[in-house]
Chain A
């Protein structure tokens, strides 16, 4: 199993500002995923973060809005840039299980409110 520490757990931000969310994993992982969960909705994949290469973004998400860093195999950050109230969501990082273990593990999430 993997233990993921995500922070901050919540924040209230002014529109037009940026917030950087951090995820630290207790083991080395090739891929990390960032999801968004809008209020009362399901989880939607934002991007896949691979160490040593550019993140791969899903349709509807762009690097300028959600820049991602992946400096090593245990850490990643997601920045939500130039925020608007529509960005108010829970953001979660996730890693797949290793080897034959396919279970995905999630950070505790960051509850972002933009005012």
Chain B
């Protein structure tokens, strides 16, 4: 089955700096890669996603890049703000069939004001 590895486990940045979180996956059948933000006590919320036919996608301060050959994808947050502090999870799944998500281990991002 799919295995998703995520690094780093914790990340502390100063407000206004950029943050980068990296993930690798193992199953070449995966072609959908979402990123979730989870605040304490809340459900995961989708912040951005990318499909394998796209190399990069951007939404305001958030961007995701995908290297399908190397089986890795990354989340980039620019101009970080204290409200970006949360746990971020990457995930992978096929976009057909069962479509269950396999999650990475999570990154706790702390943005220092």
Which residues on A are within 8 Å of B, measured CB to CB? 31, 33, 41-45, 48, 92, 94, 96, 102-104, 106-109, 111
Contact = CB atoms under 8 A, between A and B. Distances in A.
Nearest to A50: B98
A104 B101 contact: yes
30 contacts: A31-B98, A31-B99, A31-B100, A33-B100, A33-B101, A41-B106, A42-B89, A42-B103, A42-B104, A43-B44, A45-B101, A48-B98, A92-B43, A94-B101, A96-B99, A102-B32, A102-B34, A102-B49, A102-B95, A102-B99, A103-B34, A104-B46, A104-B99, A104-B101, A106-B43, A106-B44, A107-B43, A108-B42, A108-B43, A109-B43
Contacts of B42: 108
Contacts of A33: 100-101
A92 B43 CA distance: 8
Contacts of A104: 34, 46, 99, 101
Interface residues of B, number: 21
Interface of B: 32, 34, 41-44, 46, 49, 51, 89, 93, 95, 98-106
A103 B43 contact: no
Chain B contact residues, majority secondary structure: loop
A74 B29 CA distance: 28
B104 to A, nearest CB: 7
A45 B102 contact: yes
Contacts, number: 47
Given A41-B105, A94-B101, A104-B101, 8 more contacts: A33-B101, A42-B89, A43-B44, A44-B103, A102-B49, A102-B93, A104-B46, A107-B43
A96 B49 CA distance: 14
